[in-house]
């Protein structure tokens, strides 16, 4: 008589996986005030890309640039903008962002045909909820995902 097969190992969900990757991507942001990461997942649950908020590639700002948050905000490229540069319309099923998309980024994600959007932190100034409701796109807050607890260099 053979013994029963061991239970399948539990795995995190695809949205949890995407959010964990978005969190790691956010660590690359040079913005000292708000670090945002995003990840795109295709219809086969493969990662298309990761992105974070920051300045245009190749531009290195001096310390004085970072001192005034309000003055520098208009120059920052949002994580979702950087992410959408990595795929074409209709190729993404799910996007996970560490912060709820702003109004403009939510509009762009809709234009790119993203089907599901997850976020970790709320962004009250955003009209993302209304836009998601209008276009019947699930916009779901997800704070339960694996966090890296080990400090760098440990």
What mean pLDDT comes out for the span 36-51? 98
129 token code pair: 């909820």
Cβ of 2: how many Cβ atoms within 10 Å?
4
Q: Does domain 14-141 have CATH number 3.40.50.1700?
A: no
For the chain, domain boundaries: 14-141
pLDDT per residue over 13-22, tens digit each?
A: 999 999 999 9
Quick check: 36 and 78 in contact, CB under 8 A? yes
Summary mean pLDDT of the chain: 91
Specify which residues 95 forms β-bridges with: 40, 117
- Of the chain, the percentage scoring pLDDT greater than 90 comes to 76
Q: Is the pTM of this model over 0.85?
A: yes
Quick check: 99 and 36 in contact, CB under 8 A? yes
Quick check: 36 and 52 in contact, CB under 8 A? yes
Cβ neighbors of 97 (< 8 A, separation 6 or more) are 22, 36, 37, 38, 79, 80, 117, 118, 119, 120
Quick check: 129 and 141 in contact, CB under 8 A? no
């Amino acid at each position: 008589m053979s013994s029963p097969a061991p239970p399948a190992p539990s795995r995190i969900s695809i949205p949890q996986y995407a959010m964990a990757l978005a969190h790691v991507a956010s660590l690359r942001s040079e913005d000292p005030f708000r670090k945002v990461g995003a990840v795109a997942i295709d219809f086969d649950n493969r990662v298309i890309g990761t992105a974070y908020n920051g300045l245009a590639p190749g531009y290195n700002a001096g310390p004085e640039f970072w001192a005034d948050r309000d003055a520098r905000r208009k120059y920052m490229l949002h994580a979702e903008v950087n992410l959408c540069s990595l795929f074409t319309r209709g190729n993404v099923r799910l996007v996970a962002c560490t912060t709820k998309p702003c109004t403009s980024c939510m509009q762009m994600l809709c234009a790119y045909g993203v089907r599901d959007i997850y976020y970790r932190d709320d962004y009250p100034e955003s009209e993302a909820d209304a836009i998601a409701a209008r276009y019947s796109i699930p916009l779901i807050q997800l704070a339960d995902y694996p966090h890296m607890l080990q400090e760098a260099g440990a």
